[in-house]
Amino acid sequence: GRGLWRTRGQYSMFFITEPFGKFLGVPEPAARYFLALIIAYIFALLYRLAFVNQSAKIQSLYFSLSGLWTLYFVFGTDIWHSLFDVVTVYALLALLGPSILTLSLTWIITMGHLLSGYVIVMLSNEVHPVCWTIPHCVLVLKLIGIAYNLYDGTKDQIELNEEQKETCISKLPSFFEVMGYSYHFGTVLAGPQFSFKRYQKFVSGKLFLWPASPGSFIAGVSRLCLGIGYASLYSILNRWYPLSYIISSEYDEKGFLEKLFIMIIIGKVALWRYIVVWLFAEGSCIMTGISYKLKKRNGSVDWSGVNNIHLLQFEAAFSLQGLVYAFNVNTNYWIKCYVYKRLKWLGNRQLSFVLSLLFISLWHGIWPGYLFNFSFEVIVLTAEKQLISVARHRLGIVMNELPWLLYLPIVVVLYLLMNVMLMYPVMMFMLLSWSACWKFMMSVYFFGHLAAGIWFILYYTILKPSHTKQY
């Protein structure tokens, strides 16, 4: 129950968080988490007023203390989990230096600690509890990233790819810098991920000139307003279509097409929960200026450097690949740079891709629903590439070359098809447990697996263009 995750510190401001949770229609721990995302804007304003021109050490100290307070407010004394990993990994890097051994130990310690937390969560039989593993999975990527950055710094530049050249570190940073990076109040709860090199440039004043920053306040508030808008929609629609409805007897009695329609709505609403959190986190990061991307020719500044969600692209995407590029952007980029490309030695892109998705599944948790979701994502992405190949080589259809009278109806059909095939695994991502996932799949007659199976049979027996390469 709720008390399992209660520790000292999580009862502070209970008189505010309890009614706040009832207003939002979420449990009190989730309301506390959400309130912490709002408090980050106070920290951002204080940073702008008092710390922006301070030394890198003072700024890092401020980020460390504000981030630690945030974790204590939401998770109480469970902040020891993150402190243990930060101190241990830094000690390894300081004592052993960057090496394959240090990298391996960093992976084992951080992922081992995280997976042990997931085991405890799973044994508690609570689905999506607000506990210390939520911010810890973000921290794990940060610490592994630092270990890789230092290791890359020992190599000759000719051995590195472009991303590695951009993020490599030539010497061990100070403990204050690592603490500030790990506990930056804008990213400590849910990301977004960004490289340690970006953080170093930011606190040293090399990322951009501060006089260009006033626009970041307006950009941050804009992101906050978008977050409030999505939070309002989520609060309303989640009351009408809660996740539990998808495995209810009432849902089971609906017609097949109606089930699909409801599945898409519930899936969209469920994903909005993540979008709300990211928008709020991005806004506070933008206010501090760490999200700086570039200065445009017209003099305006692009503050989307750490954005984790590209809203327009996400909502309008009619392909799964397009949606992947728009959703959880920085985590996907981290996986690409630190897992997928590091598996180049395997000599097999498909195997590297599968192993990357296996990692991201374990990183999310050890519930069966995560494995179902990401394994099915491999299936859908593969089928989508095959469909594009068939359309181009068998039917001569190139989307960008179609007249709009044909383009629009095809896009509508693809949009519906993509959402149906996407929300099928998303339901399992949300339901998590084997029993809930099985009940849902039975309710919709395993249509996702059947559709994929039929497609692959047709593709490999009839439709496959003879001159296209395998994916």
The residues assigned a catalytic role are 328, 364
- Contact between 178 and 62 (Cβ < 8 Å): no
Given a contact cutoff of 8 angstroms between Cβ atoms, the answer to whether 435 and 280 are in contact is no
Residue type, 287: M
CA atoms of 393 and 374, how far apart (whole Å): 29
3-state secondary structure the chain: CHHHHCCCCCCCCHHHHHHHHHHHCCCHHHHHHHHHHHHHHHHHHHHHHHHCCCCHHHHHHHHHHHHHHHHHHHHHHHHHHHHHHHHHHHHHHHHHCCCHHHHHHHHHHHHHHHHHHHHHHHHCCCCCCCCCHHHHHHHHHHHHHHHHHHHHCCCCHHHCCHHHHHHCCCCCCCHHHHHHHHCCCCCCCCCCCCCHHHHHHHHCCCCCCHHHCHHHHHHHHHHHHHHHHHHHHHHHHHHHCCHHHHHCHHHHCCCHHHHHHHHHHHHHHHHHHHHHHHHHHHHHHHHHCCCCCEECCCCCEECCCCCCECHHHHHHCCCHHHHHHHECHHHHHHHHHHHHHHHHHHCCHHHHHHHHHHHHHHHHCCCHHHHHHHHHHHHHHHHHHHHHHHHHHCCCCCHHHCCHHHHHHHHHHHHHHHHHHHHHHHHHHHHCCHHHHHHHHHHCCCHHHHHHHHHHHHHHHHHCCCCCCCC
* Residues 204 and 56: beta-carbon distance below 8 Å: yes
b/e 353-383 (16+ beta carbons within 10 angstroms → b): beebbebbbbbbbebbbbbbbbebbebbbbb
Question: In 10 A of CB 325, how many CB atoms?
Answer: 15
Note if the bond before 192 is cis, omega within 30 degrees: yes
Q: Which amino acid is at 58?
A: I
The pair of structure tokens assigned to 105 is 């130990």
